[in-house]
Structure 1
């Protein structure tokens, strides 16, 4: 709305108030009446209408000078533009050896689009492992469910050479299923069964010829993305950390669909001859009291 509208509105209101005041005070009628108005009083009314009109216009504009200054002081991050976000998949090299670590803030570039390559940086420190997902199975077991992952090496060597202590999982797929899996793994997980596999995908023999397996507690699955060194965007230190979680969640929800499975370094305690036979592993997640049964 133009300033002239506010000015004319204020001037009309002042003249109406002046006329009413003149009716109650006849001695001032020559100065404020409709006939024979004093030019000096008229200039005062116009000047006052000009000032109050500007004030009304600022109020209708929600006073951006005040709100922006307050936002810059209290929540400066909300005034900054957000960059583009994406998820990268690193393909491991098919050679024996330990995991390749990609540090946080590693620069990467996209393929050129119209001779323009977008530059990104990584937000998580990531270990690239020569492991591939060979099979995934799911079954309902009474009041819960059993989720199984079978992983195998895609290079020479054995699992002991990787120095495996943690496995990061990305819960991709349909939003409802991935979020339900996230909830189940972090809140309704009873235990994890870890089964070492040989080159043929069979479980290694343990005590008394039984398949070798290890039991991990449900607390071994931890969320990813909440630590300070896992932030997507720089954040001021004088703000509540929860604000960062909310802003990142609404900007890029997939950022939080990662979990870490810890405690896998117990495989390193196996005898060397046994460890050399390990070429893969199977993880069985025992989920209890969950709505995951409805996902099949």
Structure 2
């Protein structure tokens, strides 16, 4: 089971949108996929897709240990997208943050819970996170066993926020290596890319910093994803229709690649062992309602 997280210490970077789109694409490729909404402040991923079954519990009960994992239907909802399940965020009063801060196993609780047999049937678990540096983001990072996808828009302030937010957060988690817990590699995904000079300059700046390894004095694995997500209205349309964007756009006359190609390329980069499955999605072109 691959557990990946979509992270940023800044809000509005597109984490929820692309956690949902990547989840939908993996599900259409036939992978058993679980999307966990870990953003209690703005639980966008919880309402991205329509549900055919809504569980009475969610993230709050999972982390507070009040749900019976031997009855997973208590907290795992089923979306109308085949193969895609969801654990909703249901902590509007932000009680989890305090509870996990004071629990002896707080930062490791989600990591430990995902070892339960209730989750063993999933191929992929994708965790959306809050856009802020907090214990909840630390908890998500430590639960990640595959990759942490860091969302960055191609503007200099967002690059700076990554360097002063995400990197220090990871440096603070390095002591967990003493417990045999390796930090996941961080893979930077540029979102809302365009062809302006400002975007190109910001991309050049962050690429140079990563290539030269000047982002940290410690051994934190960070790399750039080759895939870039362009600023397209189809992603907003997909959200409004409760459909993954790839179902809405397989071809385009624009200079930019269609949404289906971008999400396909992202999935292949993250999970190269399933490239053949992802190729089939482009061949079959499952459709969503427009």
TM range (shorter): under 0.3
User: Given the two structures, how large is their TM-score scaled by the length of structure 1?
Assistant: 0.22
Structure with bigger RCO (C-alpha 8 Å, 6+ apart): 2
User: Larger C-alpha radius of gyration, 1 or 2?
Assistant: 1
User: Given the two structures, how large is their TM-score scaled by the length of structure 2?
Assistant: 0.23
Larger strand fraction of residues = 1
